Chains A and B, each alone.
Chain A
């Protein structure tokens, strides 16, 4: 015990000269003051959120420094005037100046960054629209990603999700993300209601509203998946798109027990619309008197039975109130459908289009391929004429096909005009969006497609047409609100079999987004993420394995030679 007391006494004796020495206190205060000023200044300029705190740190630092000077002006002078003091001060000033320059330079580039995406398909470049949405976030949003580590199947998806979320976070300080192992942190997984992995739960941190995104058959997550989930979590109101039933249209085909889908179903199409943040509902005209007022758009997909008069009236009434309709009619539709669209001066042909110059291989010319390289999409000059030189509207319509390089329409018909342009009243405007080539024709004999000048009609033909009208063609004056319609002379291209072929999905989803006036969505289409595989046979694998050791062997051999020479 005495030993300890002696020790304490000794320590006290050692410390006493310092504690009682004013010079010591002066130096201590000066150093603390200088450090506080530096720390406060850096924080003040870099971290806006703690500006007030940083200012108080600067003031405290200045007070401490002043106190240090007042306690012992002599030692303060000595610090700055002594030989070591002078050099030390110079070095300190140089260090502070240099580090400040480095911090400022880095801060400048953090705030004014430039990113170059060198991937072939610009995988890591978010669309302008996504950037706009993220940078305008008003409330903080967090993505809670649940992945099981070291699961080879989830690993690729995790990298893909991490890359995308990283890009999101780089564009806004209000967006953050975190990865959690749901098996290790079950409490958090339960809190977010995660029952299957991988899953990413978007959370509006101000309201706590959640919106999950689950993996779909180990397909990579897309920018669009995340934007949609983010918007929903933030309370973005979903628009409703209806697709009609009751006229033997194409419909959903998923078997609820086996989860299997058929080629002729429209399941992928409906999923695509949902990914675009739409609430997609079916509608049977027998059960309604009019199209619900919340309809952002209505789709009619390949009806094969007649359109009853009552249903036709419901449609006309909807269009008359500024309705937005996409008609996907196959060639030779029931006459009642052609009668309906003939109100706007067009019909769908009875025969399919044969196009030897641009058609899908193996389709007997009967699957026209619309390619940008063939100038088969509407040129800007025609659009300007259509919109009356309204550049923003021209741009919006153009955005439907802007990013499309090729789409095809299996067994497509042609959209024919039943009224000459000169006779068309000014309140009904139409424009051809995609056309077949000049040597295409309407084929009567689909078993043996061959142009017959006596019976076949020569193209080019419109396969997609937009109509904007304020009344039917038989009316001389506008009688409706401005309605917008898109007519496709084919419905097969949206079926499960063809939906993800070429850019078929993009053109129909873009069209619906245009009809529903969601121009932002059009620019957030999923990008192609090519998997550049390395596939080798056994012999090549062995070659790769051993030949890749050549640099190591050469380096090692050189070390032996050098050692031998110097020995």
Chain B
């Protein structure tokens, strides 16, 4: 556990020491600001809007397809490019501790960026009385969604020494996972159910409505754990390949 904490804190420090972190975070918040303004803030055409977070958190899931791989792309790719990955793998730290340490760091970064959007909730609460149940469940959902996308991002980062390639691979996997439910909607029967159950977006809708379903929580945690396991396997394969 100590090793995980050490790796996590080292990664967080490295991340926040770079202006890139703030630029990525800034872009994320800039876009959520746009979503908030178009969906929640009453305008000339829609003088009365509903005081919930559904309007800006739903499109935020799309942002994760790009932002999660951007956050995680350097985790293993950079280590491999600089040649420090060999050092890390030969140090007295287990492979899963390395993966978990780096993954937790990216999770902390993502959640801290996401929590900045809670400022919008404060603004909404000043001028109306939102239903806090769906509001909190939507945030729980987006955090779980983020956790799953970060798992994919970490895995993609372990595949290549080139950060751009890692990010692109991560984005492609996430795009596939996100829109499988659209494919599921085009067909009937069991294949449709399977596509829906695998799709990232399919499990998010309930959270924004205010429904916390244990199936969805298990799905996101499973997705993250499967890709983290793949990452561990990739690291282990380096030893004997």
Residues on A facing B (Cβ under 8 Å): 47, 49-50, 83-84, 87, 91, 94-95, 98-99, 102, 105-106, 109-110, 113-120, 123-124, 152, 163, 166, 173, 176, 178, 530-536, 540-541, 544-545, 547-552, 555-556, 558-560, 562-563, 566
Which of A50, A534, A555 is in CB contact (< 8 Å) with B51?
A: A534
Which of B25, B116, B136, B240 is in CB contact (< 8 Å) with A118?
A: B136
Complex Cα distance, B241 from A91, in Å, reads: 12
Q: Does B87 contact A (CB under 8 A)?
A: no
Check if A124 sits within 8 Å of B210, measured CB to CB: yes
Shortest distance in angstroms between B56's beta carbon and chain A's nearest beta carbon? 10
Check if A50 sits within 8 Å of B123, measured CB to CB: no
Check if A534 sits within 8 Å of B48, measured CB to CB: yes
Shortest distance in angstroms between A516's beta carbon and chain B's nearest beta carbon? 33
Residues of A within 8 A of B188 (CB): 176
Which of A102, A540, A551 is in CB contact (< 8 Å) with B29?
A: A551
- 3 nearest A-B residue pairs (beta carbon): A118-B133, A559-B22, A563-B19
Complex Cα distance, B133 from A541, in Å, reads: 25
Check if B33 sits within 8 Å of A534, measured CB to CB: no
Least CB separation from A531: chain B residue: B50
Check if B214 sits within 8 Å of A118, measured CB to CB: no
Shortest distance in angstroms between B131's beta carbon and chain A's nearest beta carbon? 5
Residues of A within 8 A of B226 (CB): 98-99, 102
Check if A566 sits within 8 Å of B19, measured CB to CB: yes
Q: Could you jot down 6 A-B contacts, CB within 8 Å?
A: A105-B218, A532-B129, A534-B40, A540-B127, A544-B123, A562-B17
Q: Does B93 contact A (CB under 8 A)?
A: no
Residues of B within 8 A of A173 (CB): 193
Check if A119 sits within 8 Å of B42, measured CB to CB: no
Q: Which of A47, A120, A178, A532 has the most CB of B within 10 A?
A: A532
Given contacts A114-B214, A532-B130, contact A178 B33 (CB under 8 A): no
Shortest distance in angstroms between B133's beta carbon and chain A's nearest beta carbon? 3
Check if A106 sits within 8 Å of B41, measured CB to CB: no
Check if A124 sits within 8 Å of B218, measured CB to CB: no
Which of B52, B120, B137, B237 is in CB contact (< 8 Å) with A532?
A: B52
Given contacts A105-B218, A533-B48, A534-B124, contact A551 B41 (CB under 8 A): no
Given contacts A106-B218, A109-B218, contact A533 B119 (CB under 8 A): no
Shortest distance in angstroms between A374's beta carbon and chain B's nearest beta carbon? 27
Given contacts A533-B51, A566-B19, contact A551 B33 (CB under 8 A): yes
Residues of A within 8 A of B119 (CB): 548, 550-551
Residues of A within 8 A of B52 (CB): 532
Which residues in window 44-88 of B have CB below 8 A to A?
A: 46-52
Least CB separation from B213: chain A residue: A115
Count residues of chain B with CB under 8 A from any CB of chain A: 64
Which of B33, B133, B190, B236 is in CB contact (< 8 Å) with A548?
A: B33
Complex Cα distance, B136 from A87, in Å, reads: 45
Residues of A within 8 A of B206 (CB): 115, 166
Which residues in window 13-43 of B have CB below 8 A to A?
A: 17-19, 21-23, 25-26, 29-30, 33, 36-37, 40-43
Q: Does B9 contact A (CB under 8 A)?
A: no
Which of B43, B47, B129, B133 is in CB contact (< 8 Å) with A119?
A: B133
Complex Cα distance, B228 from A95, in Å, reads: 12
Complex Cα distance, B36 from A552, in Å, reads: 12
Q: Does B211 contact A (CB under 8 A)?
A: yes
Residues of B within 8 A of A84 (CB): 240-241
Least CB separation from A120: chain B residue: B131
Which of B25, B128, B219, B225 is in CB contact (< 8 Å) with A534?
A: B128
Complex Cα distance, B131 from A109, in Å, reads: 28
Residues of B within 8 A of A552 (CB): 26, 29-30, 33
Least CB separation from B212: chain A residue: A116
Q: Does B90 contact A (CB under 8 A)?
A: no
Check if A118 sits within 8 Å of B29, measured CB to CB: no
Q: Does B197 contact A (CB under 8 A)?
A: yes
Shortest distance in angstroms between A373's beta carbon and chain B's nearest beta carbon? 22
Residues of B within 8 A of A163 (CB): 209
Check if B225 sits within 8 Å of A532, measured CB to CB: no
Shortest distance in angstroms between B8's beta carbon and chain A's nearest beta carbon? 20
Residues of A within 8 A of B219 (CB): 106
Residues of B within 8 A of A118 (CB): 133-134, 136-137, 210-212
Check if A115 sits within 8 Å of B240, measured CB to CB: no
Check if A556 sits within 8 Å of B123, measured CB to CB: no
Complex Cα distance, B43 from A152, in Å, reads: 14
Check if B19 sits within 8 Å of A123, measured CB to CB: no
Given contacts A119-B210, A532-B52, A533-B50, contact A110 B26 (CB under 8 A): no
Residues of B within 8 A of A109 (CB): 214-215, 218
Complex Cα distance, B118 from A263, in Å, reads: 47
Complex Cα distance, B37 from A535, in Å, reads: 14
Which of A113, A531, A540, A544 is in CB contact (< 8 Å) with B213?
A: A113
Complex Cα distance, B134 from A163, in Å, reads: 14
Residues of A within 8 A of B225 (CB): 102
Check if A117 sits within 8 Å of B210, measured CB to CB: yes
New A-B pairs, 8, CB < 8 Å, besides A119-B134, A534-B50: A49-B190, A50-B190, A98-B229, A102-B225, A106-B197, A110-B197, A535-B42, A552-B30
Complex Cα distance, B33 from A120, in Å, reads: 27
Complex Cα distance, B229 from A95, in Å, reads: 8
Shortest distance in angstroms between A409's beta carbon and chain B's nearest beta carbon? 32
Which of B22, B128, B212 is in CB contact (< 8 Å) with A555?
A: B22
Complex Cα distance, B25 from A551, in Å, reads: 10
Check if B22 sits within 8 Å of A556, measured CB to CB: yes
Which residues in window 189-231 of B have CB below 8 A to A?
A: 190, 193, 197, 205-206, 209-215, 218-219, 222, 225-226, 229
Residues of A within 8 A of B123 (CB): 544, 547-548
Check if A555 sits within 8 Å of B25, measured CB to CB: yes
